[in-house]
Amino acid sequence: MWDIVAQIFPYAIAYTIPLLITALGGLFSERSGVINIGLEGLMVIGYFCTAITVRYLEPVMPPGTAVPIGLLAGFVGGMIFSLLHALASINLNANQVISGTAINMMAGALTVYLARTITGSGNILIRTGLFRRTVPVLSQIPIIGRLFFTQVYSSTWLVLAILLISWFLLYKTAFGLRLRSCGEHPGAAASAGINVYLMRYLGVMISGAYAGLGGGIIMVTYSGEFGGTVAGLGFLALASLIFGQWKPFGVLGATFFFGFAITIANVSQVIPEFAVIPPLILRVFPYVVTLLALVVFSKSSQAPKAIGQPYYPGQG
């Protein structure tokens, strides 16, 4: 059993990381009081920006430099695109769910259109993405070495670092306190001199940037080809956010649970120990658990109080 876990662990991590960073992005947005259903679309934007950047830089840049620039492009692209959502839901007081849905619908169509216009094909293929590496000394540590330092992508470390930084930002800095207060009671925050608009803009932009990075990581790790969709991962990130009760480490646990359960379902066929369980059951397992968890937690939900409510200056 241990061998199987150790063997599929790197792949489960690779699947979890884009989910984690996207859910973390959603956390910033929702903690500032703006629902972000558009995570899926923002991931697609990042996926596209990374793909097209790497596709054109790869032949002309020294090896290994195109991918980081591509990821940066995904990060920036997601951030810029999220401004649409910010504008609609913060300045124009639109319904945030509708605005997010619009982001999702636009992203899929726009990116395929752009891909076809620019490259002549709706699918963008890159030659090389990131490679999994085994960290020389650390991988010798018993158990932990085998699980966390064997066959890892460098993007994994990047995202885990972002997780720690995000936690620090949210809970240990004035900025984090201000951001969270805008999601709990924007009127009170404003009366204390906080610029609610600015805070919410930052929340949404961070969510766009993180989701864009998540999409970019999918591109350079397990996919390798842009195809216009991230197959519902953005919504899964949203579910993880709720499952994780809007807390960074809760989100880490939730995304890891999803990543591991889905990986087991995916590879169950080639691993005889799992093959005794019908694939269908493995496939629905994480979603059933999520539903149950939501039912159990619904009474004590930690959702930000002012989530989804537009802020009007001067409101009480």
Interface with another protein in residues 117-146 (CB under 8 A): 120-123, 125, 127-132
**What is the nearest approach in angstroms of another protein to the Cβ of residue 87?**
29
Looking at beta carbons only, is 179 or 230 nearer to another protein? Answer: 230
> 236-275 mask for another protein (x: CB under 8 A)?
--------------------------xx--xx-xxxx---
Interface with another protein in residues 191-230 (CB under 8 A): 222-225, 227-228
Closest CA relative to residue 104, chosen from 41, 44, 49:
41
Determine if 8 is a binding residue for another protein (CB under 8 A): yes
Determine if 185 is a binding residue for another protein (CB under 8 A): no
**What is the nearest approach in angstroms of another protein to the Cβ of residue 250?**
23
**Contacts with another protein: how many residues (CB under 8 A)?**
34
Looking at beta carbons only, is 93 or 128 nearer to another protein? Answer: 128
**What is the nearest approach in angstroms of another protein to the Cβ of residue 15?**
6
Q: Applying CB under 8 A, which part among 20-28, 113-121, 137-145, 244-252 lies near another protein?
A: 113-121
Looking at beta carbons only, is 122 or 187 nearer to another protein? Answer: 122
Alpha-carbon Rg of the chain, whole angstroms? 20
Cα gap 291→310, rounded to integer Å: 28
Looking at beta carbons only, is 276 or 295 nearer to another protein? Answer: 276
Determine if 103 is a binding residue for another protein (CB under 8 A): no
**What is the nearest approach in angstroms of another protein to the Cβ of residue 140?**
19
Looking at beta carbons only, is 30 or 40 nearer to another protein? Answer: 40
310-313 LR contacts (CB < 8 Å, sep 24+): 310/89, 310/90, 310/93, 310/94, 310/96, 311/33, 311/90, 311/182, 311/186, 311/187, 311/190, 311/196, 311/197, 311/200, 312/93, 313/190, 313/196
Cβ neighbours of residue 294 under 8 Å, at least 6 residues apart? 242, 243
Determine if 186 is a binding residue for another protein (CB under 8 A): no
Q: What is the largest CA-CA distance in the chain?
A: 63
**What is the nearest approach in angstroms of another protein to the Cβ of residue 299?**
34
Closest CA relative to residue 68, chosen from 161, 164, 154:
154
104-109 LR contacts (CB < 8 Å, sep 24+): 104/37, 104/38, 104/40, 104/41, 104/234, 105/41, 106/41, 107/38, 107/40, 107/41, 107/42, 107/44, 107/45, 107/81, 108/41, 108/44, 108/228, 108/229
| Interface residue list for another protein (CB under 8 A) | 7-8, 11, 14-15, 112, 116, 120-123, 125, 127-132, 222-225, 227-228, 231, 262-263, 266-267, 269-272, 279
